[in-house]
Chains A and B, each alone.
Chain A
């Protein structure tokens, strides 16, 4: 797809534009707001468990810490970790998927591994690794990379498989181009758009799993705030200070929602099959005969 077609389809797609704008705003907020807000360790003992007010827009927690500061700092960890997981699982999944779709001998072995990875109860693996290696950011990164790589590899492999059967690949092979070069020059550019879509969806899933692990106390440990462990902390004050649970949850929900929206609208732009389907639907909606 050429750059200007891409820009046009982005501009014509309000869902995609909204998702990009909101996510960009969130990234800017978690990047810049901690610089101006009070420190997450600043404690106001006189104002413990205060409801939202002008001084503390999202209230304070049981130690008297500002919830807004913790929320944006927590966002740095939650978003940052999701980005790292997406990068690792994406690179690995792209590699495994391409190799598996291109070399039939490797395929048999790699796909059995991927099957096992898909059948593995992901959260159980992440939990056992967290206990085995101690809960930390790098443990979680390792665990969730293992969990999500198969999801990427699966999708990439099926695309790479269909690309490998094309005539121009045979032509390149006949011309004596080495396999690694065919992979890099011809297969990779063809699977990349699909990989991007899948990665956006993986990043949304990893935010939810990361939240769940933090909630169970197996993610990044307090006092470092993450959205998951903030909700877990607030659990004990559910009736007296519900804002401790509500705000981090809304932040996580919004982030995952817009990532999913970004993924599904990007897919419509990138995947010609769904694009043609949408065109067809549009046609049917316009014609009074077709839609009864």
Chain B
């Protein structure tokens, strides 16, 4: 266990270092002087020098790299240009909307997918069970940005049930927040249910062919008891990995949904940072999202060890 933790901690540091370095290089790929493109042609040489200094763009590339690495290790992600504030508080201020979206859509998608899979396991010959793969494949093929526009067209423009965009804090203003969350969450759920369905189905099918189920059947258990009591709990284990990975990508991948529905989360912050060439912020958001991804996956692995004795021993 401690060994596993140490190894994973080492991997985490390596992954963050590679991602940070890639972003360091990408930002320096920009043709011309970033300071000029931010301040414009009218800036004085002194102003440019000051900005270059604060961007960490003065000196040779290895000096820049060493300085950058030192600052990141000490937890200083620099100052955002467009917000004129340190990067970390800016990022933390945009986390809540994204997490709200990610948590709601993950919980709802998983519950829906589990219900459908349960039904399919108990009634394997029903229409629902037989068409689930096809429907899920369709769901996986849906372009998110297109679904977003279609649900806005149908449920906001034509039917007028929900607002087409906007965001409010769930705790302080729930009566505005809930209706405005419905459509974005629906868009995320449509794709996610499909992903979970495919994996759950594969996992359950795999589990149903195991020999211990034959034993269970030969004891005279009903097929429903066999499926729900024996196969499903075991089939749910691998889904944890899928859920963890998926939850983490969600946090980085809500750019589209947040942009279309005008939600001030990490995704729209990333887009804003990139289009305003706010380099420290771009770097910060990327590192933050990567850190989240790796940590969530680490937690999933650790929870495996807690749930499954086999993993703990190996």
Contacts and interface: CB of A to CB of B under 8 A. Distances in A.
Interface of A: 112-113, 115-116, 119-125, 127-129, 131-133, 204, 208, 211-212, 215-216, 228, 231, 235, 238-239, 242, 245-246, 248-249, 252-254, 256-257, 260-261, 264, 277, 280-281, 284, 291-292
Contacts of B205: 277, 281
A115 B15 contact: yes
Contacts of A257: 137-138, 141
A227 B304 CA distance: 42
A132 B143 contact: no
B83 interface: no
Contacts of B107: none
A211 B146 CA distance: 9
B150 A113 contact: no
Contacts of B23: 128
Interface residues of B, number: 54
B271 interface: yes
B290 interface: yes
A253 B142 contact: yes
B153 A245 contact: yes
B5 interface: no
B255 A238 contact: no
Contacts of B259: 216
Q: What's the dominant secondary structure at chain A's contact region?
A: helix
A242 B274 CA distance: 30
Given A115-B15, A116-B15, A277-B209, A121 B149 contact: no
Interface in B256-286: 256, 259, 270-271, 274-275, 277, 282, 285-286
Contacts of B124: 291
12 contacts: A112-B18, A119-B19, A120-B22, A121-B293, A124-B255, A128-B274, A132-B30, A216-B259, A239-B157, A248-B146, A277-B209, A281-B205
B49 to A, nearest CB: 22
Contacts of A246: 150
Given A238-B152, A252-B143, A277-B209, 11 more contacts: A115-B14, A116-B14, A116-B22, A124-B270, A127-B255, A127-B270, A127-B271, A208-B144, A231-B146, A245-B149, A253-B143
Contacts of A292: 217, 222-223, 226
Interface in B1-36: 11, 14-15, 18-19, 22-23, 26-27, 29-31
A108 to B, nearest CB: 10
Contacts of A204: 141
A18 to B, nearest CB: 11
Nearest to B164: A238
B81 interface: no
A236 B162 CA distance: 19
B271 A216 contact: yes
B256 A121 contact: no
A116 B20 CA distance: 10
Complex A-B, nearest 7 residue pairs according to Cβ-Cβ distance, in ascending order: A121-B252, A116-B18, A292-B223, A249-B146, A257-B141, A256-B141, A215-B145
A133 B256 contact: no
A215 B256 contact: yes
B229 to A, nearest CB: 14
B96 interface: no
B232 interface: no
A242 B153 CA distance: 8
Contacts of B277: 131
Contact of A260 (B137, B153, B223): B137
Given A121-B253, A131-B275, A245 B150 contact: yes
Given A231-B145, A280-B209, A281-B205, A128 B290 contact: no
Contact of B143 (A212, A264, A277): A212
A284 B125 CA distance: 13
Contact of B256 (A115, A212, A235): A212
Contacts of A239: 153, 157-158
Nearest to A248: B146
A119 B145 contact: no
Contacts of A280: 209
With a 10 A CB-CB cut-off, give which of A121, A228, A245, A281 has the most chain B CB atoms.
A121
Nearest to B289: A121
A174 B119 CA distance: 55
B88 interface: no
Contacts of B140: 256, 260
Contacts of B282: 124, 128
Contacts of A235: 149
A208 B143 contact: yes
B11 to A, nearest CB: 6
Nearest to B20: A116
Given A120-B22, A132-B27, A260 B209 contact: no
Contacts of B91: none
Given A119-B294, A245-B153, A253-B141, A124 B146 contact: no
B24 to A, nearest CB: 11
Contacts of A131: 30, 274-275, 277
Given A119-B19, A128-B26, A211 B253 contact: no
Contacts of A112: 11, 14-15, 18
With a 10 A CB-CB cut-off, give which of A120, A249, A252 has the most chain B CB atoms.
A120
B179 to A, nearest CB: 19
Contacts of A132: 26-27, 29-30
